[in-house]
Structure 1
Amino acid sequence: MSAGRRALLAAPLLALPAAARAEEGFPSRPLRIVIPFTPAGTTDLTGRLAAERLAARLGQPVVVENRPGAGGNVGGEAVARAEPDGYTLLLTTIGTGAINFAVYGDKMPYRPGDLAAVGLLTRVPNVLMVPPSLPVQSVADLVALARQRQGGLNYGTAGIGSSPHICMELFGIETRAPLTHVPYRGSAPMLTELMAGRVEAGMDNIPSALAFVRDGKLRALATTGAARSAVLPEVPMMQEAGIAGFEATAWFGLLAPAATPRPILERLGREVDAVARDPAFRARMAELGADLPKLTPDGGSSPEAFEGFMAAERVKWAEVVRRSGARVE
């Protein structure tokens, strides 16, 4: 056998140990999860709960860093440009993983291919709310009031491109209610302004808003899931409120820089799947109205399944953005 032929046959054997070594000893130092929104919202809560359980599984501290701005794009870009070694991860949302690519267009600072899927942690519906001072008790009342008032009504969300923002754009399309978006830098400031009546309506993920609804500080009009929320069973779905086919679910998962070695992505993917299935994590998220990923046949997640899920979500929400004209100029 020629020397060249022997070299060709040996190449795959040499590559295998190199791939295996990418995971060997990982992790050997603390990891960092970048949360691209302000503290106190659903993204922050999910990220911190996941970080705590990932740290226990990996045997290394997992530090959380909030880097808000530009609808989550500041944090997303930071991770896309980070060293691709598995030690820096992004707590992605439906905005940073799907909607923003349509809303920001050419202004988007990173592309889908700049980040690699690790795994989906949880999914959660949104809730449409008003302050108790607003004289509406239902979705129909809100639409009627928006049509009666000159200039319509203002509504707040956690930011441009967020799931609540695009949900409300879809709501406006379906109801033809005149609505003006007021974006905030996260859920906490939006909810504060909504409770004070400085915006007339608001949409947010259920976990962020749940305590305020239960305390009577905000009035919930409808949720956006395919079934009534277990934590807000008295609140009708959008479909029950007269908007046929209206369904939208926010989601939260982890991404890594695109060039992260595949063995490390697979290792992290297995750990994220285990966290999503962890009884304590599931119980805490269920208390807030969230659900399991349910991407794989056994009801979990994987890097491949999450990648396919995000691709489908980008197509779905790009169409809503196109219809609504919701773009960052």
Structure 2
Amino acid sequence: MISKRAFLGSAAGAAAALFSARAVPALADATTYPTRPVRWIVPYAAGGATDVLSRMVCQSLSEKLGQPFVVENKPGAGSTIGTQAVINAPADGYTLLLTSTANAINASFDRTLPFDFAASIAPVAGLARIPLVLVINNDIPARTVAEFVAYAKANPGKISVGSSGIGTSLHLSGELFKSLAGVNWVHVPYRGSAPGLTDLMSGQIQAMFDNVTSSFELVNAGKIRALGVTMPQRSDVLPQVPPIGDTLAGYDTSSFYGVGAPQGTPADVIDRLNRAINDALDEATIKQRIAELGAIPLHGDAAQFGAMMRAETESWRKIVDASHLHKEG
């Protein structure tokens, strides 16, 4: 007969041994991550600059880490559908999210969000920052930001300014410009930049805020005119165009992209991904492609990217609140 104390002791020992046996494979799996394909969710349609950049980085990660990193496009609802898919995925490092300015903006703009992005997505690494540019139709009699402000003040409510959609960085960059310049115009939202740029060239709208990625070739070809870039420094693809902040003090916006994972993803997995992504950004072909897009690579560890995300979220919140723009559902 075994005593109750001995029985409990042996049971506890067996449980500890069982826990240890189960814990070892989990630890080994994290150490050797990845051991199977990884999903990289892009919450936008295929074919855009973000999709191209994602596929290049995923190819590099596949080569570096020995497992396929597969891009899945899940567009819709201003990136919410793709973001929700990652939030609902297991926190094991096998589902990643292409994070962007939309996530930082929606935190304050979209009051219908079914999640708290900051609490649900862990930062992994930055990818790139893209300046925006104020472009106008060639028939508008303005060649500088100051001249455009004067023209807008002389024609209040008569200028149509396009963007890639309500609540986007392009739209809110225009709202910040309006506030700092003290001008008023009609906002014309499009489903993406391409139709807006088409209407801008034809004169259906007079101006537009756009990512340099999709507009600099039109500017350099003389089809539209660029007045100012939205970041404090000039863009390498539009070196002749000064910052808007040179005329409107404090003006500073841009788009950014990075990588996130479900909150709770093991820290060592995030660290391994971060190092591999940073290494990918240093590869000659990827560096060249980022430069060709007019983008700026974002290096740094996960904590630095998280700090940047928080700063961006707060910056856009101030613009959203000042513009009284909120999606209520």
Task: Pick the aligned partner of 2:98 from 91, 101, 119.
Answer: 91
Shift of 1:124: 2.2
Q: Does 1:117 align with 2:123?
A: yes
Identity percentage of aligned residues = 38
Q: Which runs of 5+ in 1 are unaligned?
A: 294-299
Q: Structure 1 runs of 4+ off > 6 angstroms?
A: 2-7, 9-16
Shift of 1:153: 2.2
In the aligned structure 1, how far is the partner of 2:182 from the partner of 2:22? 59
Shift of 1:220: 0.9
Q: 2:64 maps to which residue?
A: 57
The C-alpha deviation readout for 1:49-79, integer Å capped at 9, x for no partner, is 3223222222333332333323222222222
Q: 1:325 maps to which residue?
A: 324
Pick closer, same or farther for the CA change 1:31–1:308 going to 2, 3 Å.
Answer: same
Task: Pick the aligned partner of 1:27 from 34, 47, 69.
Answer: 34
Pick closer, same or farther for the CA change 1:190–1:32 going to 2, 3 Å.
Answer: farther
Q: Which runs of 5+ in 2 are unaligned?
A: 1-5
Q: Where in structure 2 are the equivalents of 1:151-230 lying within 5 Å?
A: 151-230=157-236
Shift of 1:13: 7.8
Residue 252 of structure 1 aligns with an amino acid whose one-letter code is: Y
Q: 1:260 maps to which residue?
A: 265
Q: 2:256 maps to which residue?
A: 251
Pick closer, same or farther for the CA change 1:57–1:142 going to 2, 3 Å.
Answer: same
In the aligned structure 2, how far is the partner of 1:19 from the partner of 1:88? 17
Tell me the C-alpha RMSD between the 2 structures. 2.9
In the aligned structure 1, how far is the partner of 2:85 from the partner of 2:144? 41
The C-alpha deviation readout for 1:273-325, integer Å capped at 9, x for no partner, is 212222321222123322232xxxxxx32222211221122122211211111
Secondary structure at the aligned position of 2:123 is classed as strand
**Over alpha carbons, which structure has the higher Rg?**
2
Shift of 1:15: 9.1
The C-alpha deviation readout for 1:1-29, integer Å capped at 9, x for no partner, is x969999x999988973652342553333
Secondary structure at the aligned position of 1:33 is classed as strand
The answer to whether the 8 A contact 1:40-1:208 is kept is no
